[in-house]
Amino acid sequence: MKGSATLSESIVMGFSIIISFILVVLVIRTVLSYQADRSYENLFESIARDIALTIDRTVSMSSSGNSEYRLPKGARADITIDYKYVFVKYGDQIVRKSYSGLIDSIPYSFEEPEALCFVKEDNKIRIFDTSCDQVI
Protein backbone atom coordinates (compact mmCIF):
# COMPACT_ATOMS: atom_id res chain seq x y z
CA MET A 1 0.00 0.00 0.00
CA LYS A 2 2.82 2.40 0.69
CA GLY A 3 4.12 2.11 -2.88
CA SER A 4 0.75 2.97 -4.42
CA ALA A 5 0.42 6.18 -2.37
CA THR A 6 3.88 7.31 -3.43
CA LEU A 7 3.09 6.54 -7.04
CA SER A 8 -0.13 8.56 -7.02
CA GLU A 9 1.62 11.53 -5.38
CA SER A 10 4.25 11.40 -8.13
CA ILE A 11 1.56 11.26 -10.82
CA VAL A 12 -0.31 14.21 -9.29
CA MET A 13 2.94 16.19 -9.08
CA GLY A 14 3.73 15.38 -12.73
CA PHE A 15 0.25 16.47 -13.87
CA SER A 16 0.54 19.70 -11.89
CA ILE A 17 3.88 20.51 -13.55
CA ILE A 18 2.43 19.81 -17.01
CA ILE A 19 -0.66 21.93 -16.31
CA SER A 20 1.51 24.76 -14.94
CA PHE A 21 3.68 24.68 -18.06
CA ILE A 22 0.60 24.79 -20.34
CA LEU A 23 -0.84 27.73 -18.41
CA VAL A 24 2.44 29.67 -18.58
CA VAL A 25 2.64 29.09 -22.35
CA LEU A 26 -0.98 30.21 -22.84
CA VAL A 27 -0.47 33.38 -20.80
CA ILE A 28 2.69 34.30 -22.72
CA ARG A 29 0.98 33.61 -26.04
CA THR A 30 -2.02 35.75 -25.09
CA VAL A 31 0.16 38.67 -24.00
CA LEU A 32 2.27 38.57 -27.17
CA SER A 33 -0.82 38.25 -29.37
CA TYR A 34 -2.44 41.28 -27.71
CA GLN A 35 0.73 43.33 -28.16
CA ALA A 36 0.97 42.39 -31.85
CA ASP A 37 -2.68 43.32 -32.44
CA ARG A 38 -2.25 46.63 -30.63
CA SER A 39 0.90 47.46 -32.62
CA TYR A 40 -0.96 46.70 -35.84
CA GLU A 41 -3.81 49.00 -34.77
CA ASN A 42 -1.34 51.76 -33.82
CA LEU A 43 0.18 51.58 -37.31
CA PHE A 44 -3.13 52.44 -38.96
CA GLU A 45 -3.97 55.10 -36.39
CA SER A 46 -0.66 56.80 -37.18
CA ILE A 47 -1.36 56.57 -40.93
CA ALA A 48 -4.72 58.31 -40.46
CA ARG A 49 -3.14 60.95 -38.20
CA ASP A 50 -0.28 61.58 -40.65
CA ILE A 51 -2.69 62.01 -43.58
CA ALA A 52 -4.80 64.47 -41.57
CA LEU A 53 -1.68 66.43 -40.61
CA THR A 54 -0.48 66.45 -44.23
CA ILE A 55 -3.82 67.89 -45.35
CA ASP A 56 -3.65 70.62 -42.72
CA ARG A 57 -0.02 71.39 -43.54
CA THR A 58 -0.78 71.62 -47.28
CA VAL A 59 -3.76 73.92 -46.65
CA SER A 60 -1.59 76.21 -44.53
CA MET A 61 0.87 76.79 -47.40
CA SER A 62 0.86 80.43 -48.47
CA SER A 63 0.92 79.56 -52.18
CA SER A 64 0.14 76.67 -54.48
CA GLY A 65 2.20 73.58 -53.92
CA ASN A 66 2.06 69.93 -53.14
CA SER A 67 2.86 67.50 -50.36
CA GLU A 68 3.37 63.77 -50.54
CA TYR A 69 2.64 61.06 -48.02
CA ARG A 70 4.04 57.58 -48.56
CA LEU A 71 2.37 54.75 -46.72
CA PRO A 72 4.69 52.35 -44.89
CA LYS A 73 5.65 49.34 -47.01
CA GLY A 74 3.42 46.38 -46.35
CA ALA A 75 0.57 48.44 -44.88
CA ARG A 76 -2.53 47.44 -46.82
CA ALA A 77 -5.40 49.78 -46.15
CA ASP A 78 -8.24 51.44 -47.98
CA ILE A 79 -8.31 55.19 -47.42
CA THR A 80 -11.32 57.47 -47.68
CA ILE A 81 -10.92 61.21 -47.25
CA ASP A 82 -14.25 62.89 -46.74
CA TYR A 83 -15.30 66.29 -45.47
CA LYS A 84 -13.21 66.83 -42.30
CA TYR A 85 -12.39 63.13 -41.70
CA VAL A 86 -9.84 60.58 -42.84
CA PHE A 87 -11.00 56.96 -42.68
CA VAL A 88 -8.44 54.15 -42.84
CA LYS A 89 -9.96 50.71 -43.28
CA TYR A 90 -7.85 47.61 -42.66
CA GLY A 91 -9.47 44.20 -42.50
CA ASP A 92 -12.80 44.75 -40.78
CA GLN A 93 -11.55 47.67 -38.65
CA ILE A 94 -11.84 51.41 -39.41
CA VAL A 95 -9.78 54.21 -37.89
CA ARG A 96 -11.07 57.80 -38.12
CA LYS A 97 -9.13 61.03 -37.64
CA SER A 98 -10.29 64.60 -38.21
CA TYR A 99 -8.59 67.51 -39.93
CA SER A 100 -9.48 71.20 -40.27
CA GLY A 101 -8.40 72.11 -43.82
CA LEU A 102 -10.69 72.45 -46.83
CA ILE A 103 -10.37 69.89 -49.60
CA ASP A 104 -12.08 69.72 -52.96
CA SER A 105 -15.78 69.07 -52.40
CA ILE A 106 -15.74 65.44 -53.50
CA PRO A 107 -14.85 62.60 -51.17
CA TYR A 108 -11.75 60.66 -52.17
CA SER A 109 -11.50 56.90 -51.89
CA PHE A 110 -8.35 54.90 -52.58
CA GLU A 111 -7.77 51.15 -52.45
CA GLU A 112 -4.39 50.25 -50.97
CA PRO A 113 -2.43 53.25 -52.29
CA GLU A 114 1.34 53.34 -51.96
CA ALA A 115 1.50 57.14 -51.86
CA LEU A 116 -0.85 60.11 -51.76
CA CYS A 117 -0.14 63.46 -53.37
CA PHE A 118 -1.89 66.54 -51.99
CA VAL A 119 -1.98 69.41 -54.50
CA LYS A 120 -3.03 72.90 -53.43
CA GLU A 121 -4.52 75.10 -56.14
CA ASP A 122 -6.94 77.99 -55.66
CA ASN A 123 -7.07 77.40 -51.89
CA LYS A 124 -8.46 73.89 -52.39
CA ILE A 125 -6.74 70.57 -52.00
CA ARG A 126 -6.94 67.84 -54.63
CA ILE A 127 -5.67 64.39 -53.76
CA PHE A 128 -4.12 61.80 -56.07
CA ASP A 129 -3.16 58.20 -55.27
CA THR A 130 0.30 58.43 -56.79
CA SER A 131 3.57 60.10 -56.00
CA CYS A 132 3.78 63.83 -56.67
CA ASP A 133 6.45 63.19 -59.34
CA GLN A 134 3.75 61.59 -61.50
CA VAL A 135 1.15 64.33 -61.05
CA ILE A 136 1.18 66.82 -63.89
- Domain residue limits, the chain: 2-134
Reported as a pLDDT band with limits 50, 70 and 90, residue 7 is low
**For residue 15, what pLDDT is reported?**
87
Nearest by Cα to 81 from 64, 97, 59, 57:
97
- Quote the pLDDT of residue 4: 55
The predicted model gives 17-44 an average pLDDT of: 85
The mean pLDDT value of the chain amounts to: 85
pLDDT confidence of 121, banded at 50, 70, 90? Answer: confident
The pairing of strands 115-121 and 65-70 is: antiparallel
**pTM for the complete prediction?**
0.73
Given a contact cutoff of 8 angstroms between Cβ atoms, the answer to whether 114 and 68 are in contact is: no
130: left (phi over 0), alpha (psi -120 to 50) or beta: beta
Report pLDDT for 136. 63
Mean pLDDT over 39-43 rounds to 84
Percent helix, strand and coil across the chain, each to the nearest 5: 45, 30, 25
Question: CA 71, CA 124: separation in Å to the nearest integer?
Answer: 23
